[in-house]
Amino acid sequence: MARKRAGHGIVAKRRFLKRGARGETLAAWLLRLKGYRIVGRNVRTRLGEIDIVAKRRNLIAIVEVKARPTLQDAMEAVTPAAQKRISNAADLWLAKRRDAANLSIRFDIIAVVGRRLPIHIENAWNG
């Protein structure tokens, strides 16, 4: 019977985190090219984390980044429970902004699929 190598899980987790960080960097650059200003990355609140907060004029885009083999896998990875957690974190983040009354909010997904440009799905769900 084969034994599991010690530390194999740690190596896989590091690879996964590195791929996620690379995906978030690509997503941030895509948003910048589209005219957004990145307000925050990996924004932590007591209700959850937001991958990217981007602003263009009076619009705040709350962006969940998923690096997956297919677009469908990326879309399915943002479950209803994840959407609720992200929406709650966004509400808390927005409540702390002085200009909140002047801003509209949108929830997007950026899918990093293979070695091509990330796919930006605007208004992926309603918060």
What's the rounded mean pLDDT across residues 3-11? 62
Distance CA 48, CA 95 (A): 14
Q: What are phi and psi of 44, to 5 degrees?
A: -100, 135
More confident residue, 11 or 36: 36
Alpha helix locations (H) across 1-127?
8-33, 71-77, 80-95
CATH of 8-125, one of 3.30.300.30, 3.30.1330.10, 3.30.70.890, 3.40.1350.10: 3.40.1350.10
Task: Give the mean pLDDT of the chain.
Answer: 90
Instruction: Specify the pLDDT at position 106.
Output: 98
Distance CA 15, CA 98 (A): 39
